[in-house]
């Protein structure tokens, strides 16, 4: 699976990159940078995991854009919602006509 090259989150476009090491200081599968407008995903992950991590980082970006810092910084809430939304969108076509 090839991830998209970019994603527009409420008018702010983030570049998406698959990288060998997401963060040299803190081991993680993905990371979003609100200043440089980049989302970095570990390219060694399985395809489904990459997609789920991207959903997680997208949620961080959406909460940032909405001014919801408390939710943006709540890793447990972001991960729970990311898992649920990934599963919903990957198993059903709910918006087709």
Q: Which CATH number fits domain 6-91: 2.60.120, 3.30.2010, 2.30.29, 3.40.50?
A: 3.30.2010
Q: Round the CA-based radius of gyration of the chain to a whole number and report it.
A: 13
What per-residue confidence (pLDDT) applies to 24?
83
Q: What is the pTM of this model?
A: 0.90
pLDDT of residue 25 exceeding 80, the answer is: yes
Residue 4 gets which letter from DSSP?
P
> What residue spans define the domains of the chain?
6-91
Question: Mean of the pLDDT values across residues 45-65?
Answer: 96
């Amino acid at each position: 699976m090839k991830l998209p090259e970019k994603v527009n989150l409420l008018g702010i476009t983030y570049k998406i990159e698959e990288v060998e090491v997401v963060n040299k200081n803190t081991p993680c599968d993905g990371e979003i940078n609100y200043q440089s407008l980049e989302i970095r995903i570990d390219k060694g992950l399985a395809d489904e995991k990459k997609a789920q991590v991207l959903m997680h980082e997208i949620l961080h970006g959406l909460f940032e854009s909405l001014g919801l810092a408390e939710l943006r910084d709540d890793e447990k809430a972001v991960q729970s919602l990311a898992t649920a939304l990934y599963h919903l969108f990957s198993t059903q076509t709910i918006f087709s006509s």
